[in-house]
Amino acid sequence: MSAKIEGWGRYPSQEGEVWETQNLQALVQKMTSQREVIIRGNGRSYGDAAIGEKTTLSSRGLNRMKHFDPQTGLLTLEAGVLLVDVLNCFTRRGFFPCVVPGTKFVTIGGMIAADVHGKNHHRDGGFGHYVSSLQLILPDGAQTTCSPGENPQLFQATIGGMGLTGIISQATIRMKPIETGWVAQKTFVASDISQALDILKRTDEAPYSVAWIDCLAQGSSLGRSLIFAGEHASRDDVSGSSDMALFPDARRARVSVPPGFPGWALNRTTVASFNEFYFRAGERKAPDAELIHWDSFFFPLDSILSWNRLYGRRGFLQHQCVVPDNNSLSVLGEILERFARSRRASFLAVLKRLKGGNGFLSFPAPGYTLALDLPATPDVFVLLEEIDAIVVKAGGRIYLAKDARQARHTFEAGYPRLDQFKQLRRSLGAEARFQSRLSRRLGI
Amino acid sequence: MNGEQRLLLVIGATSDIGRAAALHYASEGWSVCLAARSMRAVQREADDIATRTGRTVSCHVLDILDAASFEPFLDHLPRLPDTAICAVGMLGDQSISKTDFVHACLIMRTNFEGPALLLNLLSHRFKIRGSGALVGVSSVAGDRGRASNYVYGAAKAGLSTFLSGLRNELSSSAIRIITVKPGFVRTKMTAHMRLPPVLTAEPEEVAAAIFNAAQGRKGRDIVYVRWIWRFIMIVMSFVPEALFKRLRL
């Protein structure tokens, strides 16, 4: 059945069929009978990473869990299992994934393929760091095991490899014990970008930290932010409040953005008033510690279903870059300045510290990452080209899982291990088999 | 059951409805026995449910067409289950069964003969024990015969009637007999069909409806998962045959 295939940003969009089965054998058969396929998880990458050049295969039918060992925290599962299912099953038993991205509606396979990072990347690294092994279906249909000790090259290429080395069918991931399902959060206020970077550096000790930026603020308040630092609350933290369950279940989303939501509703005025309100509210809270439900702390946007419709029919682009530590202040200042001058309103702007990555094409690098959402209009494409130039000059790169538009030269400048990756792909015979619109666009 | 863990048996456990029901019961704290034709396939579901819920799940091989194996199958369960759900079903192809006796026979035996005989055996054992709930997943297709699927429909009608008779026979006992007529469900069986969203339930909805009917204090005897199907089937039952025969449904 034909439908629209698109990423979370709803740009680009393509007519086609996403082929799905619950049977691994059938999936392998289909894959080996096609040229230029890509595997798609839950479609939460923003751009064209999970849109097949010719055929798109879904991993969603491979959604069975296999084994959990509470002694080691190792969980073995098929790659199409959703993170939300893992959370629902295990937070109540006192276990939490070592790394979670900003939404829980992603598959485990997708988390590996994008080597996703969370609010703890500055301390704990990316999701790939906690994959102890995985099963990969190679271009000829053969299944192989990869881990840091077994086929290490292939393992490193597959972590963050955007599905271009093979189909991840199964993985074993490490979970960590938690004492409660609550997060003790402290809020800090930064009146400009330099303070924001200072506070992020100072809160390096906190397991989780992230900054929300008011990207419409200009002049002396350029980059004014709220920094949220958190850690898993202990039993003692929670025991004071008797009405709080130790391990609360996931929150049910109550709000959903309807189809056909008008794109003009999200404009400079509405976003500016929201930002002002949000900033003031954060100022009032700071710096007292408070207990936040795990779902609200890690996945605040999941409480609004289909929030990607906020930008209307035309869709939106998310721009996420990382810039190295040296000169980060002046580079980020320049980028924010450029955004502010464009008078474009971003619904969301997030800044956080990263450390080094795991895979050949992993996004994280030591430095600061900045993510912004912008409507997919012609002037925004021009603006983002300019921003990319700043990023490249600073020695930074753009996140593939968010990308729908970066130029090939931007990509090539940002990923120094690309040649190694391409070479491995050639030796596997993966080039003829696995192609997404992203890999074609960037010549991977 | 006073703290003792309750036990569910799912026959046809690799079907989407069977699997969802097993997961729902296990999440409610039940132990589960899964039965299906292929050991490999049923093991996959058992591992999934055990990992998700931390409950005890056992696997059993059962061919619904092999009635001689039913008694030993029941004898080999860890114990007699408190609730048994038969989610076996095969839609088949009406156009093929028109000319192919073997195919038609397979649809009839899979949807009616096997499930009815097995549920009958279980009802004997439940009756001796004096408790239990039996759930048969039947179909709205069994309520009236339609040109597009009457071999399947007739088999399901047989199952519905069989369950209705059992219910009548056991009405004075504590044994519950529940007939489920789910309407459209988004499953492997219907993956090739374009289904109207309002009329189409998710397997998890069916599972929840089964649990509420079988374990609720005042559960229904006949469960239509979405209320709209109860309404549709009432309206359908009023259409006189003289008119019904001309409808293209």
Residue B217 has pLDDT above 80, yes or no: no
Mean pLDDT (chain B, rounded): 94
Q: What is the mean pLDDT of residues B170-174?
A: 94
- Tell me whether A85 touches chain B (CB under 8 Å): yes
Does B1 fall in a domain? no
Residues of B in contact with A66 (CB under 8 A): 47-48, 51
Q: What are phi and psi of A249, to 5 degrees?
A: -75, 170
Ranges of residues in chain A whose predicted pLDDT is under 50 = none
> Within A343-436, where are the H helices?
378-393, 408-414, 418-428, 430-433
Q: Could A1 and B51 be called an inter-chain contact, meaning their C-beta atoms sit closer than 8 Å?
A: no
- Chain B residues interacting with chain A (CB cutoff of 8 angstroms): 44-45, 47-48, 51-54, 188, 191, 194
In whole angstroms, give the CA distance from residue A141 to residue A37: 13
Residues of B in contact with A89 (CB under 8 A): 51-53
In whole angstroms, give the CA distance from residue A353 to residue A362: 15
Q: By residue range, what is the domain housing residue B93?
A: 7-244
Q: What is the pLDDT of residue B134?
A: 98
Residue B3 has pLDDT above 70, yes or no: no
Residue ranges with strand state E in A92-181: 95-97, 131-137, 143-146, 167-177
Chain B nearest CA to A22, separation (Å): 8
Q: What is the pLDDT of residue B63?
A: 98
Does B2 fall in a domain? no
**Residue B25 catalytic?**
no
Extract the tokens encoding A14: 């393509």
pLDDT, greater one: B54 or A347: B54
ipTM: 0.91
In whole angstroms, give the CA distance from residue A8 to residue A306: 9
Residues A430, A39 contacting (CB under 8 angstroms): no
Cβ neighbourhood burial of A36 (10 Å; 0-12, 13-18, 19+)? middle
Mutate to test the interface with A, among B14, B24, B42, B48 (most CBs of A within 10 A): B48
The 10 Å CB-count burial string (b at 16+, else e) for A221-230 is bbbbbbbbbb
* Complete domains list, chain A, with CATH: 65-178 (3.30.465.10), 182-405 (3.30.70.2520)
Residue B2 has pLDDT above 70, yes or no: no
- Tell me whether A71 touches chain B (CB under 8 Å): no
Nearest CA in chain B to A81: B48
Q: What is the pLDDT of residue A2?
A: 67
Q: What are phi and psi of A181, to 5 degrees?
A: -95, 20
- Tell me whether A68 touches chain B (CB under 8 Å): yes
Extract the tokens encoding A221: 């308040």
Extract the tokens encoding B190: 């219907």
- Tell me whether A1 touches chain B (CB under 8 Å): yes
Structural domain tally of chain B? 1
pLDDT, greater one: B190 or A399: A399
Chain A and chain B share a number of CB contacts under 8 A equal to 25
Does B12 fall in a domain? yes
C-alpha angle A63/A69/A71, rounded to 5°? 155
Q: What is the pLDDT of residue B200?
A: 92
- Tell me whether A84 touches chain B (CB under 8 Å): no
Q: Which of A22, A89, A93 sits opposite B188 (nearest CB)?
A: A22
In whole angstroms, give the CA distance from residue A317 to residue A397: 16
Q: What is the mean pLDDT of residues B219-231?
A: 90
Q: What is the pLDDT of residue B208?
A: 96
Residues of A in contact with B191 (CB under 8 A): 20
Query: Which one from B25, B150, B152, B224 is the annotated catalytic residue?
Result: B152
Q: What is the pLDDT of residue A28?
A: 97
Q: What is the pLDDT of residue A1?
A: 55
> Which residues does residue B49 pair with via DSSP β-bridges, in sequence order?
none
Strands A37-40 and A55-58, how do they pair?
parallel
In whole angstroms, give the CA distance from residue B134 to residue B236: 27
Residue B1 has pLDDT above 50, yes or no: no
* CB proximity list for A182: less than 8 A, separation 6 or greater: A232, A233, A237, A238, A244, A248, A291, A292, A293, A294
Q: What is the mean pLDDT of residues B230-239?
A: 89
Extract the tokens encoding B64: 């619904």
In whole angstroms, give the CA distance from residue A307 to residue A315: 11
Does B249 fall in a domain? no
Residue ranges with strand state E in A10-152: 13-16, 18-19, 37-40, 55-58, 65-69, 74-78, 95-97, 131-137, 143-146
- Tell me whether A89 touches chain B (CB under 8 Å): yes
pLDDT, greater one: B65 or A17: B65
- Tell me whether A27 touches chain B (CB under 8 Å): no
In whole angstroms, give the CA distance from residue A233 to residue A248: 13
Cβ neighbourhood burial of B13 (10 Å; 0-12, 13-18, 19+)? buried
pTM for the predicted model, two decimal places: 0.94
- List the CATH number of the domain containing B99: 3.40.50.720
